[in-house]
Each structure stands twice: as structure tokens, then as C-alpha cells.
Structure 1
Amino acid sequence: MISKRQYLSAILLVLSLVMVAGCTGSTTEKTVKAGDIVTVDYTGWFDDGTIFDTSNETIAQEADIFNPYISYEPIIFTTGSGEIIQGFDDAVIGMKINESRNITLTPEQAYGQYDPSLIQPVPMSTLTAANITPYVNDTLYYNMEPVRVDSIDGNETVYIDFNHPMAGKTLHFMITVRDIQTE
């Protein structure tokens, strides 16, 4: 049989543990807010499940997208600064360190809708003067951004597609916040 003293001691012990647990709860955890510098691991895939990018080298190898010239590591960006696509930026707001989230971004939240008017004619002579021999579906770089050769009209005109390669696509991401630094 338990004495009153043992009973009271047990209740006091339980209450002490509850109080200590309350003091170390999640109320002090950092959450991402606009202007924070965040470090994020991610994997991105299309509707059909094809992985197009990741910060994880093992996933890149398993998805057969590994590039030995790429450093597979978390990305670091300042939230709300426009450094990354809007939907991804918005998704990390309110997350905590080591929290993971799956998100789906519409084209408007990512790289926009595909715009046929962004296929522009460029004289072949302009490209050959720059020592470029274009081929259909070639990727060229204009202002450091990838563009695609859509078609070639004889030897006169090259039609360049200035849409982002992921324009018009729905993108899925699994993101995990690794660090939060407040400015």
C-alpha cells in the first residue's frame, strides 16, 4: 500500500516534469519568416514522377540525373528576395528546422505558362558570326539563361525559343529546412 507521503511525492515529481517539459516546448523553435536566410534540401519532380533536380547526390545517382560537375548540397537563399521561384520561396515560410513538406507548384508559381510569342527569329548570320552552328533542339545561352533552338528556316533564320525550359510545367518538390538565420 502506498503511503500519503509517497503519493504526494509522486504527484510532485509528475508536476515538476510537466513544468520542465512546458519550459522546453516548441514555443522557442525558430520558424522561417520573410527576410530570413534559409538552408534547404530539396528534390523536384514532374507529374509523371521523373526527378529533374535534387540537392542529394544519392537521389541524383538513383534518378540517373547525376552530373559530376555539380555540387549536391542544400541551397541557401534569403526568403522574399526573389532569388528562387516564388512558389518555393512562399512554401518555406512558417517551416521549422528539420521540418519537411511536399509541395506542388502550378506554372504560375514556378516558371510561368508557355508563351509561343517568345519564339523569336534570329538571323543565321548573327549566330555564325559568334561561331555558333545551331541545330534544332540545341540549348544555347542568352544572357546566361538557357534558350532552345526551335527550328531553322533554310540558311537564313533560326527560331529561338526564349521560354524557360520548365515553362508551362507543374512542379513537385519535397523540401526540408536545414537552417534558419535571422538577419
Structure 2
Amino acid sequence: MSIKDGDTIKIDYKGTLDDGTVFDSSENHEEPLEFTVGAGQVIQGFDDAVRDMKEGEEKEFRLEPSEAYGEYNEGLSQPVPKDNIQSDIDVEVGMMLLVKTPDGQELPAKIVEVGDEEVILDMNHPLAGKALNFNIQVKEISS
């Protein structure tokens, strides 16, 4: 049985950057990744790569930024007054915060610079602008 849209599958995977750094792996989660193909639960390029695979099959593939988390967008880095950040937090470069948009949605943001009056927040996905390499094995397919 080949994987098609609507199938729920379980896969073991390892994701690496071009320099060999592992950014995620099913080993880290102690169980295979489970998702419904074509339901938008994973990045589009990953969804596309698993279609037509069979149970037990292994595959290596590379996703360009456009197929994964998109290109890095300089416009998603912006200054925010320090007063707007919870007063009980010691802000540091590299720290991740949840930022509320005007419509109430919460987005992760990374502090990339700390000044006396403001901090620069980067709201790009941490993997934006990076090509992603995957090694996967299909463990289970259910319709």
C-alpha cells in the first residue's frame, strides 16, 4: 500500500542542516512522528516527500527554504520597548518569548539584541532561510 492523501502514517526521521547539525529527530521524542498526509500538519515539502512511499521504505531528501519554513525575512525583526516585556523577566540575547499579535494570536520571537530602552525581536521561524535534509523510514500506514 502506497501513502496517499488522507492516510495517517508513522515515521522515524532525522532532520539535519547542511553543516550536519541535527535540528530534530523522532529519537528526541521517543516515538515515531504521526500525522495525516495532506492535512497541513507538517511542512508542505515533507508532506509531498512521503506520498507514494510504502511501509518499511526509507528515503533521504532535501527541502529548500521555499519548501520548508520560507526565506529569512528581515522585516520580521523589530524593536520593542523594554517596558512592553514582563517586568519579572531578565531579558537576554537568544531568549525566546511568546508575543501576542493585535488579533490575539501568539507567535514565538527570539531576542537578538538588548539595548537600554528596547530589545530587537526576531519573529522568523528558527529554521527560516535554511535548507533541511531528512532521512525517514515509514513505520506504519493506516487509511
TM, length-normalised to structure 1 = 0.71
Q: Once the 2 structures are TM-superposed, how far is the Cα of residue 111 of structure 1 from its aligned partner?
A: 0.6
Say whether 1:47 aligns with 2:18: yes
Q: Once the 2 structures are TM-superposed, how far is the Cα of residue 145 of structure 1 from its aligned partner?
A: 4.7
How far apart are the structure 1 equivalents of 2:107 and 2:17?
Answer: 21
Aligned to 2:102: none
Q: Once the 2 structures are TM-superposed, how far is the Cα of residue 150 of structure 1 from its aligned partner?
A: 1.3
Aligned to 1:95: 53
How far apart are the structure 2 equivalents of 1:35 and 1:146?
Answer: 30
CA RMSD of aligned residues (A): 1.5
How far apart are the structure 2 equivalents of 1:159 and 1:51?
Answer: 27
Query: 3-state SS of the aligned residue for 1:128?
Result: coil
Q: Where do residues 123-162 of structure 1 align in structure 2 (5 Å cutoff)?
A: 123-129=81-87, 131-142=88-99, 145-154=107-116, 156-162=117-123
Q: Hey, which bits of structure 1, 4+ residues long, moved more than 4 A?
A: none
The residue type paired with residue 77 of structure 2 is I
| Bigger helix share | 1
Q: Once the 2 structures are TM-superposed, how far is the Cα of residue 158 of structure 1 from its aligned partner?
A: 1.3
Compare CA radii of gyration and give the structure with the larger one: 1
| Bigger strand share | 2
Q: Choose which of 113, 128, 136 in structure 2 pairs with 1:167.
A: 128
Q: How many residues align?
A: 138
How far apart are the structure 2 equivalents of 1:172 and 1:126?
Answer: 38
Query: Deviation string for 1:124-176 (max 9, x for gaps)?
Result: 111034x322112222233665321011231x211100000010000100011
Query: Deviation string for 1:49-104 (max 9, x for gaps)?
Result: 122211125xxxxxxxxxxxxx3210100111111111111100000000000000
Q: Once the 2 structures are TM-superposed, how far is the Cα of residue 35 of structure 1 from its aligned partner?
A: 1.1
Say whether 1:36 aligns with 2:7: yes
How far apart are the structure 1 equivalents of 2:136 and 2:47?
Answer: 11
TM, length-normalised to structure 2 = 0.89
The residue type paired with residue 56 of structure 2 is N
